[in-house]
Amino acid sequence: MTNALLLILSLFAGLGAGTLFFEGLWRTVSKAVVNARPVRLFALSFLVRTMLLLLVLWLVSRGDLFRLAVCMAGFLLSRTVILRIHHGGKQGAN
């Protein structure tokens, strides 16, 4: 594959991993309010989300720091997208 294609795929992998991570966090916080054992829920959610993120980062980078950086950029971009979806474009807490 060409280098440009690998970078584009790295960006989309970061977007996907970030979407799973931040949507999982959003759902965890939403369910923790009514859960009898929120600490267990947070701990399990954190472990699963972090392990999946690290797996994606490891698979994408394969020792190439530039691909890792592009993947992380996609991850951070997905955070912005998820915040806009759930807050309707509002900045900060009102």
Question: What is the pLDDT, as a whole number, of residue 88?
Answer: 75
Structure tokens belonging to residue 66: 């530039």
This prediction's pTM: 0.83
Q: Please say whether the beta carbons of 10 and 70 come within 8 A.
A: yes
Mean pLDDT on 70-92: 85
Given a contact cutoff of 8 angstroms between Cβ atoms, the answer to whether 82 and 15 are in contact is no
Give the residue extent of every domain in the chain.
3-87
Residue 86 predicted with pLDDT over 90:
no
pLDDT digits (tens, 9 = 90+) for 9-46: 999 999 999 999 999 999 999 999 898 899 999 999 99
Q: How many CA atoms lie within 13 A of 11 on its CB side?
A: 7
Residue with tokens 């690290």: 54
